Amino acid sequence: MKLSVAIESATKRFEEAGIESAQADAEILASFVLGINRGELLSKAITDESFSEEDSVKFNELVAIRAERFPLQHLTGFAYFRQLELKVGPGVFVPRFETEVVTQLAVDALKAIPSQEPIAVDLATGSGAIALSLATEVPNAKVYAVELSLDALEYTRANFARYAPSADLRQGDLADAFQDLNGQVDVLISNPPYIPDEMIPIYPEVHLHDPSLALYGGSDGLDLIRKVDASARRLLRPGGSLIIEHADMQGKAVQELLLASGWRHVATHKDLAGRDRATTGIR
């Protein structure tokens, strides 16, 4: 089958299944099957190249699975995040595009620190997406990260070994992590679980396949955000920056929470879709 025809057919099937990134997913799966990047794939498609019979069978099998809303990243074994290609799979939260914008807030805050080795902490690091972005984009920073889930850590450790073996990754609860860093941290960022317990995420890929430990944050979704607040007050030095990702309807609640805890210059920031996505404060 010609690549262009296969990609067009897969795109249509994904659109019918309600997948928003239908064409991109079709191209990523085709690239994955062929072991090439998307640029090379599109060049081959333009010149009317075809799948081999074996590759065609494999591609169609993957398309059928993806059309059932099985996560694309679980099929390929990786997820793109900013400049990284992260190992992911069942048991670890798949990083989302909107978190890239939140991460930029921490990158900017770290770069503004005059210290030769600013200290950054990522609480509930999951795959390591945020922490590893900080470590690779601000290479003079000393980056620490903690993750509770042993299932997730299988992937996290592999990603740290690839991108930032000198960063400090620990297993544990964000509520009491890094007692050895109390009052020393320059920037603390977290994308904690924040979905209210009774709310079902809109995307099947999320509520059927992402680990519940990484999704749900109590009856109002703020239980883990409260713990992040408490840990940040303990860990950050005076003048240090806090960045918390949250749901689009939680901006006001997180602002009120941080103001009640004494944070200064509290502000909520929007993602590229114009939705409230992160709230920041200064210690």
**pLDDT tens per residue, range 74-127:** 999 999 999 999 999 998 989 989 999 999 999 999 999 998 999 999 999 999
The confidence score (pLDDT) of residue 16 equals: 95
Residue 191 makes CB contacts below 8 A (sequence gap 6+) with 99, 102, 124, 126, 130, 244, 245
Give me 221's structure tokens.
Answer: 């979704």
Q: Which of the listed CATH numbers 3.90.1860.10, 3.40.640.10, 3.40.50.150, 3.40.50.300 matches domain 79-282? A: 3.40.50.150
Residue 20 makes CB contacts below 8 A (sequence gap 6+) with none
- Give pTM, 2 decimals: 0.89
Please report which confidence band the pLDDT of residue 44 belongs to, taking 50, 70 and 90 as the band edges: confident
Please report which confidence band the pLDDT of residue 22 belongs to, taking 50, 70 and 90 as the band edges: very high
**Buried-exposed string 30-59: b where 16+ CB fall within 10 A, e elsewhere:** bbbbbeeeeeebbebbeeeeebeeebbebb
The confidence score (pLDDT) of residue 212 equals: 66
Averaged confidence pLDDT in the chain: 92
Encode pLDDT of 184-228 as tens digits.
Answer: 999 999 999 877 777 666 666 665 656 766 666 777 889 999 999
| Residue bearing the bigger pLDDT, 209 or 56 | 56
The confidence score (pLDDT) of residue 194 equals: 77
The confidence score (pLDDT) of residue 48 equals: 81
